[in-house]
Structures are given as structure tokens and as C-alpha cells.
Structure 1
């Protein structure tokens, strides 16, 4: 008997089903991280031929009020701006364009703000502006037309900063990520943390552009009431392949292969020198997550590490990084880029092609991986001579610190992890040791002083916990505490209590 699914499915006409206005809510729920959203807007600036982009945090005293991204690109006239602000509106993308889907501006912006305003001017047209207000957008795709006088004033405000004769301004209001109450130094702490992360993200994903002499990104913080500029940072290129010398003299090497449906592909295989402390190696996440393929699309980094089902990430391949410039694949038969440009979905054909890749010396890609592993293991053997194995760090320790511990120390994988927990203890006690439970108890009384008034979390106080982790290894690896170790613990207890009380006194002042 022939099954129904074997036949072509018949149809009886068609009907148009336009999206409900609530589609805007779905558009704003794409999971954009803050840094990825800003990077998407900078992509638009690059496509517009901008040489300068300014990311402007605006504050009113202790309160952050708006975020503005300004460029000196070619700008848009009224018709082009309407297309840019249309949900799903797509302009004609060139082969070297970074934009793809026609949703980045709207999706990235409305993921993080209740309102997005765009004002733009070309050399031949007056400034024009449009605004998406989330509430009005949900009611029926209603986009506001900005008063021409305000659009002109907005452009004039950024004249020379960096707008010269043309440019575009994107403004976010009601930014969800901003602190709701800026008092107590929350705004300063937020800006310090956010500007640093944003600079690293842009420096990494746009490093090929930032390495050029004709492209610059600046992050600025200014008070709207006083006009005082609190900070002005130039974003630096963070090239993930910028090591001073390779970990193996036989690399980097270019591996060639052919991928069905897209043709020739080159894999630029690198081996980092072991134990590097350079930001290009360690500054943007756990090292084990940054091994693997670095995919570029039109010089824009769209994936920073990962093996794309070719193999699983492993610590001993932490020095292996492979640059891949994506070939032209408009139908996405082999490579599909995520909307947020933070990853590439590769078909099994890619993994099969990598297995067949060879370099000019006739080495296979498997040999490259073996060489990267060898360099890593040899370095660990030399470094591990004087380093004693340690307990794994568990709950309560910041993930970045846990990763650093695993990178630097041989780990007793058969042992239970050492956990950290805040608990009410006598005021003359900074910590207690629960050997049986593998828990280091910290005195809740001193928590606020150690955090400097910040809100606590499971992984808080990473510096204190890291120091305690290193100090207390012997205490948790021995069945019983010897007299010398007990004396050391009493010493540490007294000094730490005195230091914590000094912090409390400073808070009281």
C-alpha cells in the first residue's frame, strides 16, 4: 500500500495572512545581549560608510537616561529611513554588506529599549526622523514622524561629534538594562562594568575594521544637564590571533578543502603560545569556549570559537584557533548565520570537508589538532612540576574563576568540589571549615563590607573566595588538621576579622 505522504500535497488556492501587530513583541524577544545589540547597530554604520561611530551614554546626575549611537556615514533620506524602520524592510544589500535580514535595527533596539528614535541626514537632504514606541508599535505598527525642527536640533547637537555633512543618530530611551535607581554609586559601577564589556565585545567582533586607519569607535559618557563628559574611550582592536610568536613554529598554516555546494574553503590554523596573559587570548570569556573556529563574514567576526559539531571542546585544545572566511552561500545550504551574528550553523558537509583538509606540507587537520594538543600538554607538564593538585571549585565560586583554576592547576576530579556559603557566625570568626561537607562557611556579618554595599549573589566576592580557596586547600585535603595548620587557620582568622572590621568602619564613615 502506498502511503499518502508519498504524493504531492494538493492545494485549493491561497489567502494572505499578514502578521499581527504583536509580532513586534516577538521581534523584541530574540535574546539579543546588550553588547550584541550595539554591535548590530555599528554594523549598519559600517555599511553606511562611516569612519567614526560614537556610543554615547547620557546621564542626568546619578540617573542614566538614554543611549545614543551616532555615525558620520552617508545617512538616509526620508524614503530610505522609512524602509529602515519598516519591520522586515530590506534595502539592497551589497555583497560586502554586514546587514542581512532587515530586522537588526528594530529587533536589537526594541530588545533593550521601550523606544527607538532614528534621525538621519544626507548631503542633499534635510534631517528626517522616525520613532518606534513599543506601546504604539504593538497596537498596529504605528511609527511616529519626528518633528523636523527637533531632527535638525538633534543633528546640530552632534555636529562634529562625529557628524560632519551627513550621518545617522539612533537613540534608545527607556533602556531596560539601566539601573532603576542610580544612587549609592550604582550608575558608576554599571557604567564601569558595561563600558568594559562593550569595548571588549566590539573590539573582538569588529577587530579587522578597528585595525584600519580610517575607522574608529568611541564610547562616551556625558551629563545632559551640566554638559560634563565623564569618560571618553577609544575602542581598541582585539585580534584573537595577535600573539607575539606562535606556540609551534610550524604554524599558522592554511588548510584547503572543498565543501559541497559552496566550493573551495581555507582554514587558517593557529596555535597560541601556552600560558598567555594577553587580552587577545583571555579577556573575553572562558578559554575553553574560545578554542575552535572563528568565522568571518565580510571581515566581521560572527562566531568566536566552537567546533560546530566537528568535535567536542576539550581543555587540551585551548591553544587551537582557526580563522575561516565564510564563502558566498546565499541560500544557506552549508552555513547559516544567526540573526544576532553570534554564531554559525554549519551542515554536516562542513565537518566532512574539514576532515579532508590538508595544508601545503601535506598535513591533515587531524595532525594540526594533535600538534595543538602536544604544545598544550608539554607546557602543562613543565608548569605542573611544582604545582600541587587542587580540589575543584564548586558552588559559590564565580565561573570565570573556576575556569582560571582549571586552566592553571591540576584538578582532583575524583574529589567533591569545594563550595562556599554565607552563614551567621560569631563576630570574632571570619570563616568556618566544614571538612565533611566540603563547604567553607563565610561570616554573613561581614558580607556587606566585602561587597562595598552591592547586592549579594551566589557567586559574589570572587576575590575573597579565591584567596580563601587557595589558602584552605590543605585543610580540605587532609583527614585531620595538624597543629601547624590549626595555628595558621587561627592566624588567618584573626587577620581577616580585623580587615573585615576595618571595612565596616570605613562604610560607617
Structure 2
């Protein structure tokens, strides 16, 4: 419609009203709250965000199991904690609180929506430096019953805090999921396999989306505790998984910074990177299909909220897999960038793509020239020949995550073989190790465990050097058809030599202690 066209007299830009009524949400809203489309990893990440916002520098994601059944999940932190009023506010469905400028939270729904999308029961127990332990419990049934929130018995709340006093000394929070839907679908005898895959996916997701915090010293662990035996059966530290963590760029002169003038926002920095071709580093290969990971990486307050994709700027293609661009979203709300509730994607308006198309670097180089450089680096890199390395069976439970990541980066894996696990076991005194080829297990004599842990018992992933050396020696002994006599003899003399070495080490240790 042209500006000269007159509007009808009945037309009004603002619709007039004559009053208002308050319409509380229907109880059926609970079903919408539990159906937000969160993945398990994204839901846990939302809880970790809350811990970071509470100034926690140590966070543990704790799977609880009872023998072969997974029963609960807890996220523990040593943040500043909440009192009764703060906890009531945090548990109020639909209430949005004021967030500080650098907070990771945004909409005020993450705790409830993320939790109830995965579990039918959410419990939060917290303590501040000046207040006692308090707790609230929110269930799907309670939300359906007029948004009822239950108060946790104070004695139980304190008891839970006491259980984790190594982490929560003076203040902190425990978020607990019970009746977790994914856990209830695990068939008998499958909990170990489920946990292995779930922890691996969670480690990758948290390591990627929180990599800037982890690089700055955030301690984030994933552990498994058997409540029936009281033993911790697995424990790993999550390491930063930097999507820009190459050692040498794929083309000299990169990364480069481009400036995009975005209408409605102003200047936006684009940090353009080119990965080296054929890289096996975890930040390139282990964060998903490389074709999906090209493009823009949006950060909000240092938290990654979109890992790849071109946001309607262009289509993905094979020749562009080395191109990744880091973009820090402008502070404050605007009409150009819209973050999803799950914090796993960013919607942009055409103002952003137009600004990118005209972006230039400090010497006038264009963003389009960067895309051409990325394509050329891919073609040149793919034309180079590389030495073929033999495929190996993946190391599994009992190996430190850093070792497992290094193996995946350096060597191709045999996809059809189950991972090799390593564990300490009761063995005859004349054996240092034993192979359980049927169950893909490398067994170490537990009588020697303290010798490799400075006199301590050690954890699930202890003695990493010893375990890794044995893995490199023995991984080709698994997954074979016929067991050759020559190979069996090699295992026997290796065992004898290593047994002599461990006895020599024990004698040295005993002499030092005396």
C-alpha cells in the first residue's frame, strides 16, 4: 500500500479494549511443560547453567543406580544456594526472574521445563551460608493438581546435604530427578550399556556447549554411584571440547575478524576460522557430523547456544566443512537474534544475513573471500596423501576420558567391535594381567593397585599410563577368530616381564617409605 492511499475511517492501528480478566493456566499446561522437545543432554546442560549462574566452580552430574537398575539423577553444585523464598521463586511455574547481564538463564522456565521433560519428579534442596537446608518437590501430578509444590522434610534435606559434604560444605544446591522416563525403559541387564552411551553423549554435549567455562577452570564431573553397595563405580572429568581448537589453521592468516553492520543491532564481530583438512582432533570430528558443524557458532555470555549451521545465509556443502565462524551475540534483547528456550539454536532475521554478506576485515577483505579460502583449503587438503594407520578397538570403561579421546583422534576405530574395558580383579599372584576375551575385558591384579596409585586405592579411571600401555600392547588380542599359539606365548612372557617390573617398583616404594 502506498503512502498516498487513504485508510478507511473505521481502521485503527491499536485495537481498543473495554476491560480485562486474569486467566490462570489450565492444569493441562503440565503436559505442555513436559513436552518441550529437550534432549537428555540439553536438559542436564540447562541445570548446569543454573549452577554456573549461582557462582559454582564445582559441579557434579551424579547417576544413582541400585545394582542393575538406574534410579535417579542428581546435579550438585557448590554455588551460593537458596533460602525458602528463593527456592519458592525458582520452583514457581511460569515465573520469570530478573537475570544479571552475564547470566546464562534467560526465560525462567529452564529448571522446571528441562526437568519435567525428562522426569516425573523434580526435587531441589539448597542451603546458603546463613540459612538451613530447605527443599521443594514438584511432580507432574502436582502441576496437574493446581500447580502444587511440596515442601521437603527439613531433616531429609539436611541429610542429603550431609551426604555430599565433600562438595557442599557451607552452601550449594542439589537438583534431583526421580522417575526418569529414559531410565525406566532400560531393560534388565542393559544398565551398563545404557550408562556408557548416556555418559559419552553427555560428556560431549557439556564439553562442547560449555567449553569456554571449562577452559577457564570450571570443574565439571560425571559420576555413577551404586546406592546399594555405597561405591562409586565410574567418575570422569568433563574436558573442554573446543570447536576452534586446532593447532595449525587450514590456511595461513586465519582466524580473521570481520565486522558485519547489522541493522537494528549495530556492528557484530565474526571470527572466521578454517580448520586443517582431514583433522582427527576431537573438536572437529567428535562433536557430530562435520557437514552439520560448518557455519556459525553463536555464543551468549560465553555459553555456546548454536553449534554450526548457516542460519539462512547459504546452504551447507561438502567443500565448506572447514569453515566455522564464532559470533558473540550482542548483550541485551533485540529484534534480530532470538534464542530458543532450550538454548540450542538462534533464529535470525534477514538483517543479520545481509550484514554478513557485506562484512569486511580490517584491511577490506570480504567475507565472501573467506568462504572461497575455506573451499580452496578443503580441496588442497583432500588432495594430499596421508599414511594409513591400522584400525583399533576402542578403549572403554576404566580408561581415562583423555586417553579415549586421544585414541579416537590418532587412530581409526573398528566399528563392529565392543570397546575394551579395563578393571582391577582378583588374580593369581603370578599374574599381573589377564585377558577376558569373551567379555572384552583386560583384568589387572588388584593386589598391585596401590603400587600404581601412590599407596591409595585409586578411582575408576586410575593408573592411566599403565592401563594405556597395556591397551596399546594388547588391543589386537581381542576380537580375533582363532587364538594362535604364538600369540598366547607372547601374552605369557609379557605377563612374566611385567610381573617382575611391578615387584621391582614395589620394592623401590617400600625402601622409600622405610
**TM-score, normalised relative to structure 1:** 0.74
Name the residue aligned to 2:197. 193
Residues 25/296 of structure 1: CA separation in 2 closer, same or farther (3 Å cut)? same
- Separation in 1 of the partners of 2:268 and 2:151? 47
- Separation in 1 of the partners of 2:9 and 2:221? 61
Name the residue aligned to 2:356. 354
Residue pair 2:274, 2:324 contacting (<8 A) in 1 also: yes
Report whether the alignment pairs 1:141 with 2:141: no
TM-superposed deviation, 1:328: 2.0
Of 96, 101, 112 in structure 2, the residue corresponding to residue 106 of structure 1 is 112
TM-superposed deviation, 1:88: 1.8
Of 367, 370, 379 in structure 1, the residue corresponding to residue 369 of structure 2 is 367
Name the residue aligned to 1:377. 379
Q: 5 Å matches for 1:8-19?
A: 8=13, 9-19=15-25
TM-superposed deviation, 1:27: 1.1
- Separation in 2 of the partners of 1:53 and 1:89? 25
Report whether the alignment pairs 1:217 with 2:250: no
Of 264, 274, 278 in structure 2, the residue corresponding to residue 275 of structure 1 is 278
User: What are structure 2's unaligned runs of at least 5 residues?
Assistant: 1-5, 389-411, 413-437, 441-479, 483-514
Report whether the alignment pairs 1:180 with 2:185: yes
- Separation in 2 of the partners of 1:354 and 1:59? 50
Number of residue equivalences: 394
Name the residue aligned to 1:290. 293
Residue pair 2:276, 2:381 contacting (<8 A) in 1 also: no
TM-superposed deviation, 1:295: 0.4
TM-superposed deviation, 1:2: 5.4
For the residue of structure 1 that corresponds to 2:24, the secondary structure is: coil
Name the residue aligned to 2:504. none
- Separation in 1 of the partners of 2:104 and 2:96? 13
TM-superposed deviation, 1:179: 4.8
Residues 5/61 of structure 1: CA separation in 2 closer, same or farther (3 Å cut)? farther
TM-superposed deviation, 1:230: 0.5
Please list the CA deviations of residues 260-294 of structure 1 after superposition, one character each: whole Å capped at 9, or x if unmatched. 12111100000000000011101021101000000
TM-superposed deviation, 1:325: 0.5
Please list the CA deviations of residues 423-458 of structure 1 after superposition, one character each: whole Å capped at 9, or x if unmatched. xxxxxxxxxxxxxxxxxxxxxxxxxxx999xxxxxx
TM-superposed deviation, 1:11: 2.4
TM-superposed deviation, 1:182: 4.7
Please list the CA deviations of residues 393-424 of structure 1 after superposition, one character each: whole Å capped at 9, or x if unmatched. xxxxxxxxxxxxxxx9xxxxxxxxxxxxxxxx
Name the residue aligned to 1:335. 337
- Separation in 2 of the partners of 1:5 and 1:278? 65
Name the residue aligned to 1:421. none
Name the residue aligned to 1:67. 73
- Separation in 2 of the partners of 1:246 and 1:322? 13
Instruction: Tell me which moved more, 101-110 or 374-383.
Output: 374-383
TM-superposed deviation, 1:164: 1.5
Residues 5/144 of structure 1: CA separation in 2 closer, same or farther (3 Å cut)? farther
Report whether the alignment pairs 1:260 with 2:263: yes
Name the residue aligned to 1:401. none
- Separation in 2 of the partners of 1:182 and 1:36? 24
Residues 116/204 of structure 1: CA separation in 2 closer, same or farther (3 Å cut)? same
Residue pair 1:262, 1:328 contacting (<8 A) in 2 also: no
TM-superposed deviation, 1:183: 2.5
Residue pair 2:186, 2:194 contacting (<8 A) in 1 also: no
Q: 5 Å matches for 1:76-475?
A: 76-160=82-166, 162-184=167-189, 186-213=190-217, 215-330=218-333, 332-383=334-385
TM-superposed deviation, 1:208: 0.3
Residue pair 1:204, 1:240 contacting (<8 A) in 2 also: yes
TM-superposed deviation, 1:14: 2.0
For the residue of structure 1 that corresponds to 2:363, the secondary structure is: coil
Name the residue aligned to 1:49. 55
Please list the CA deviations of residues 204-257 of structure 1 after superposition, one character each: whole Å capped at 9, or x if unmatched. 0000000013x1101000100111110010000001000010000021000012
